[in-house]
Amino acid sequence: MKKLVLGCLGILVILAVSGGVLGYVYLVRPAREYLAAFREMAAIGDLDEQISNQDAFDPPESGDLTPEMVDRFTRVQEAVRDALGARFADLESRYADLEAAAKAEAGRVSPDRVMAVYRDLAAALADAKRAQVKALNDAGFSLAEYEWVQRQMYEAAGILVASVDLDALRQAVTDRADGLEVTPSPGAGEVPEGNKALVQPYLEKLKEWLPLAWFGL
């Protein structure tokens, strides 16, 4: 009987230890990783406050880009690309995975998958965002004008740009949602012919910069 009691106690100890390990692996560690990713995302978003030009942007009714806008935009993109250096390949690879997953799931991706990317690439994305802010300031861009030019550039190139809304991502993680909608950039209607001509020399570059657009850079 004594041996049986000791044996049962041993099993209970093993189960308790195992339960603690499993609880850490499946509950505590993921929760900590999510919190760390959330903090990184919030810190990256806060960098927008360092943009010097905080003026509202009133886009031209014609939707026309100017050569000066295109030049400033390309300089910002190149600055961000250069700041990433060899790490751009990691961003490119993870972007390709997310794009493939979204296509396979009718425009939806797993929130866990997206959070893992933000967690794993946090340092690179933060460096890229800092480089973007500096480049925006050097070019005199407000964030609103920059994003408008970016949309016009990709629409003129005939390239549909999808991205993840970070607020929606946070909510999806909180709700433990199965999927997150990847939002394509809204179309602006008919694309001005002048925009198509301005964008023509940058078609290959725009394709190269797609991972930056996907991550809001």
109-157 pLDDT tens trace? 888 888 888 888 988 999 999 999 999 999 999 999 999 999 999 999 9
Predicted confidence (pLDDT) at residue 192 exceeds the cutoff of 80: yes
Rounded Cα distance between 40 and 36, Å, is 6
Which of 24-38, 74-88, 97-111, 153-167 has the weakest average pLDDT? Answer: 24-38
Sign of CA dihedral 15, 16, 18, 22: positive
Structure tokens at 133: 């802010």
Predicted structure pTM score: 0.78
Q: Tell me the angle at which helices 88-104 and 122-139 cross, rounded to the nearest 10 degrees.
A: 100
* Strand-pair category, 180-181 with 108-109: antiparallel
Rounded Cα distance between 211 and 198, Å, is 22
Among 89, 36, 75, 94, which Cα is nearest to 202's? Answer: 75
61-76 pLDDT tens trace? 999 999 999 999 999 9
Instruction: Read off φ and ψ for residue 34, nearest 5 degrees.
Output: -65, -45
The runs of H, that is alpha helices, within 85-142 are 88-104, 111-120, 122-139
185 Cβ contact list (under 8 Å, min separation 6):
151, 154, 155, 160, 161, 162, 163
The pLDDT > 90 percentage for the chain reads: 48
Q: Is 53 exposed, middle or buried (0-12, 13-18, 19+ CB in 10 A)?
A: middle
Average pLDDT of the chain to the nearest whole number = 82
